[in-house]
Amino acid sequence: MDLELRDKVAIVNGASQGIGLAIARMLAREGARVVITARREDRLSAAAETIRAETQAVVLPVPSDIRRAEDCGRIVERTVSQFGRVDILVNNDGAPPLGKLEQFDDSAWDKAVQQNLMSVVRMVRLVLPHMRAAGGGRIVNITALSVLQPIATFGLSVATWAGVIGFAKTLSLEVGPYGITVNTICPGRIATPRLEKVYSQRPEHAGKDPSKLMEDLQKETPLQRIGKPEDVAALVTFLVSSQASFITGVTLQIDGGRLGSLL
């Protein structure tokens, strides 16, 4: 199947490791020119070198903090200056701290909103003119399964990513006539550096051996395994391709069957 991604220009945020890196790598393998961003310049440069070595693709690393409006602007400016267009935007980053909602002050809430919601709003606002000029585009937001199936202590993420889902659905109605699709992915338990750290902090897992913790998490998943970053990358790569041109406004879990509802 030809995904028709050769020479498309993609921005992938949070791409120095984990899901973001897997997405950037897979798009590069399909022939896309990839702009990758992350806060840590050393990790980002290493990721760029890895992708280039594996794929021979053109990769532009732009160290930046997407919580800052000026950095969002710089990402898009560098992309357009280098490649003259933007075809694909993948909004991806880490997540705010865990904890009970009542413990977070206004500053914590503001940081969560900037990281999870306003980064998406700003990046979208900046790329839309270029996508319209190109005759279409693809926007994919990475959130988490907890948005659809909330988990205690994940409230900062749940509340702010729920805003992303509402934003994305509304946006899909407004930009559809321009050939721009907007979809949101909700990954379940994926084998990233964050997974063990997050679940080891929960009271029911306190003091548990890491290997036993991972075994328990696998058993709770119908497919009996933890997802791989490449699983998410494959879905994103399809959604940004020509083959997914009639899919927009969708919120889709990729969770090994864990979501406990019919919808």
**Does residue 238 form part of some domain?**
yes
Say if CB 200 and CB 208 are below 8 A apart: yes
**Does residue 250 form part of some domain?**
yes
Q: Examine the domain organization and report whether 92 and 210 are in the same domain.
A: no
**Does residue 121 form part of some domain?**
yes
Q: Examine the domain organization and report whether 123 and 235 are in the same domain.
A: yes
Q: Which residues pair with 181 in a beta bridge?
A: 138
Domain count, the chain: 2
**Does residue 259 form part of some domain?**
no
Q: Examine the domain organization and report whether 181 and 216 are in the same domain.
A: no
Distance CA 202, CA 215 (A): 16
Q: Examine the domain organization and report whether 132 and 207 are in the same domain.
A: no
**Does residue 1 form part of some domain?**
no
Q: Examine the domain organization and report whether 239 and 250 are in the same domain.
A: yes
Complete edge-to-edge strand list for the sheet that includes strand 251-254: 59-63, 33-38, 9-12, 88-91, 137-142, 180-187, 251-254
What does the pLDDT read at residue 200? Answer: 58
Q: Examine the domain organization and report whether 88 and 145 are in the same domain.
A: yes
Q: How many CB atoms lie within 10 A of CB 117?
A: 18
Q: Examine the domain organization and report whether 233 and 207 are in the same domain.
A: no
Place of tokens 């898009």: 76
**Does residue 71 form part of some domain?**
yes
> 153 Cβ partners below 8 Å, 6+ apart?
98, 99, 100, 201, 202
Distance CA 254, CA 54 (A): 26
What does the pLDDT read at residue 213? Answer: 77
**Does residue 178 form part of some domain?**
yes
**Does residue 239 form part of some domain?**
yes
Q: Examine the domain organization and report whether 13 and 81 are in the same domain.
A: yes
pLDDT means per 10 residues in the chain (263 residues)? 95 97 98 97 97 98 97 98 98 93 98 98 98 98 97 96 98 98 97 73 60 83 95 98 98 96 82
Q: Examine the domain organization and report whether 142 and 181 are in the same domain.
A: yes
Is the backbone of residue 7 left (phi > 0), alpha (psi -120 to 50) or beta? Answer: left
Q: Examine the domain organization and report whether 163 and 214 are in the same domain.
A: no
What does the pLDDT read at residue 212? Answer: 78
Q: Examine the domain organization and report whether 111 and 222 are in the same domain.
A: no
Q: Examine the domain organization and report whether 122 and 214 are in the same domain.
A: no
The parent domain of residue 206 ranges over 193-226
Query: DSSP letter string over 133-184?
Result: HHT-EEEEEE--GGGTS--TT-HHHHHHHHHHHHHHHHHHHHHGGGTEEEEE
Write the pLDDT tens digit of every residue in 108-162.
Answer: 999 999 999 999 999 999 999 999 999 999 999 999 999 999 999 999 999 999 9
> 246 Cβ partners below 8 Å, 6+ apart?
none
Domain of 73, CATH number, reads: 3.40.50.720
What does the pLDDT read at residue 207? Answer: 62
